[in-house]
Structure 1
Amino acid sequence: MVRTVLVLGGTGEARALAAELTGVRVVSSLAGRVSAPRLPVGEVRIGGFGGVDGLVEYLRAEHVSAVVDATHPFAAGITANAVAACRVAGVPLLVLRRPGWPAEEGWTWVDSLEEAAAAVGERRAFITTGRQGLGAFSSGVARTVDPPDPPVPGVEVLLDRGPYTVDSELELLRAHDIEVLVTKDSGGPMTAAKLEAAKTLGIPVIVVRRPPLPDGVEVVGTVAAAVEWVSRGSGGA
């Protein structure tokens, strides 16, 4: 019987993993929060499972033998549900998380978007934390893939999707007279150009820390390590 691996995705790592896995049935699950997501190769499902109970039911119905949580580092709710469901269903779980960005001198670290907004003060901010939680801010320029719903009064929204270049980020920061950059510690190269641009211009950076992972989960930082985990039969027979 061919093993079924469920990849909780939406990230570049998830797409790369789906492309790299061979000899197994791969089902990539996307939350459906982006209107036109980049789809991985192979079988794809879009939408939530209905909480822990719904995910347990899916794992059993589809005879899933392993789950790789390759969601965004800030998708804490999805990760928590995956951990709980896999424990109930007895399915091995691996968390694939790209490393965070190396801290730079002068960065201000906070634990929430509300703290980030408070740290901005009266400065003109470039907000790159996504549309969810954008309501914590009352002014500034935000870049999102889809428009926030509802709109956020006082915040100018730029609709765009990475990857970005340092040159384009320099142009943006200058054109909008940005005085501080706000970002989540997402990690990875896809949106790192803004950090280099801010450093070049001497613009301070406010970084929202990642939520902690649940206790007892196995974590790897690369697609290659996740492929090796699946290949060595961590998903069972």
Structure 2
Amino acid sequence: MSAILMHRRTNRQIHVLVFAGTGEGPALVAALAQAGRDVSVSVVTEAAARAYRSADLNTVHVGSFRSVEDLSAHCLAHAVDAVVDATHPFALLISAQLHQVCSHLSLPLVRFERPGWTAPQTSLLSGVDAFAQQSLHGHRVLLALGARHLAAATQAGRAAGAIVKARVLPTPAAIRLAGAAGLSGDNLAVLRPLSGMRPGAVEAALCRRWAITDVLCRQSGGVADALWSTLSESLGFHLWKVKRPSPPDTVPVVQSPQELLACLDGLLV
């Protein structure tokens, strides 16, 4: 660690920059602020930034960084002492950029991972393409993963012999991607996840209506992962999860605000 960084840390409040892309972001930020850290947040959209309006923050950055150089310049300009990667588990580009920048600037980097969920009838896949290697002739598969992955997942499911259906968000882009994947009419449901009076009731009704035998989703942790794990047990379908990527071995992983605080205390001594 450079002498400049060490001098800076001993003369002011430690500044932690949190890259937030999951629902747990506000709780992490609140825990850091309560522990006396100077906290900034980086999110991609204005909608995501609204969750931090009442938080005690140094700055809120909204939008993607155009390059690694821009990201480095931001960390230097704001005198960042440590970075927390709480982005979505499958946001591979920003996680790789954060690792590169923190390595170059000798900044501690901590990865926050949401705890995973398991169900008895669950199989992990290395990727969407691996779904094509399964024997699913006559199975009725529901794709419950991002619209950008629908084309590959639909192709894989049909290659495995399954009848493929999907649910997508009610946005023009998602519906357009579903159509490009060959999903429309009674093979497509347009809905917002976990909506309604009883979160999960719409998804359960959809599985019953389509007599779903298998669901393909991502091992993302959080409420969506929990939902499909719970429905798999209650409705009896087989759950296939695309395994979430692992961070580099040199990046410590925490799964709670308490673990994050303890980890940062150890890294910033």
Which of the five TM-score ranges fits, normalised by the shorter chain? 0.7 to 0.9
Deviations along 1:109-149, whole A, 9 cap, x unmatched?
Answer: 21112323664665332222222322213341223374427
Which residue in 1 is equivalent to 2:126? Answer: 111
Following the alignment from structure 1 to structure 2, what is the Cα–Cα distance between the partners of residues 169 and 157?
A: 10
CA distance 1:30–1:118, shift in 2 (3 Å): farther
2:110 to 94, 108, 126: 94
Deviations along 1:178-223, whole A, 9 cap, x unmatched?
Answer: 2311111112345412222222222111111111211211111112
Which residue in 2 is equivalent to 1:184? Answer: 218
2:88 to 62, 67, 72: 72
**Gaps in structure 1 of 5+ consecutive residues:** none
Deviations along 1:30-89, whole A, 9 cap, x unmatched?
Answer: 234xx8437332442222222322211111111111100111122222211111100111
Matched, 1:158 2:190: yes
2:253 aligns to what SS in structure 1? strand
Which residue in 2 is equivalent to 1:131? Answer: 147
Please say which of residues 183-192 and 7-16 is displaced more in the overlay.
183-192
Please say which of residues 93-102 and 17-26 is displaced more in the overlay.
17-26
Does the 8 Å contact 1:166/1:193 carry over to 2?
yes
1:11 to 22, 41, 44: 22
- Alignment identity in percent? 29
Q: Which has the higher helix share?
A: 2
Q: TM-score, normalised by structure 1?
A: 0.84
Does the 8 Å contact 2:20/2:87 carry over to 1?
yes
CA distance 1:38–1:170, shift in 2 (3 Å): farther
Does the 8 Å contact 1:128/1:143 carry over to 2?
yes
Which residue in 2 is equivalent to 1:59? Answer: 75
C-alpha deviation, 1:166, in angstroms: 4.8
Following the alignment from structure 2 to structure 1, what is the Cα–Cα distance between the partners of residues 248 and 138?
A: 36
Does the 8 Å contact 2:147/2:177 carry over to 1?
no
Aligned residues: 232
- Amino acid across the alignment from 1:110: L
- Amino acid across the alignment from 2:146: G
1:12 aligns to what SS in structure 2? coil
- Amino acid across the alignment from 2:42: S
CA distance 1:182–1:224, shift in 2 (3 Å): same
Coordinate RMSD, CA, aligned: 2.7
Following the alignment from structure 2 to structure 1, what is the Cα–Cα distance between the partners of residues 256 and 74?
A: 26
Which residue in 1 is equivalent to 2:247? Answer: 213
2:228 aligns to what SS in structure 1? helix
Following the alignment from structure 2 to structure 1, what is the Cα–Cα distance between the partners of residues 27 and 211?
A: 37
Q: TM-score, normalised by structure 2?
A: 0.75
Runs of 4+ in 1 over 6 A off after TM superposition: none
Which residue in 2 is equivalent to 1:37? Answer: 48
- Amino acid across the alignment from 1:25: D
**Gaps in structure 2 of 5+ consecutive residues:** 1-11, 155-163
1:24 to 30, 34, 37: 37
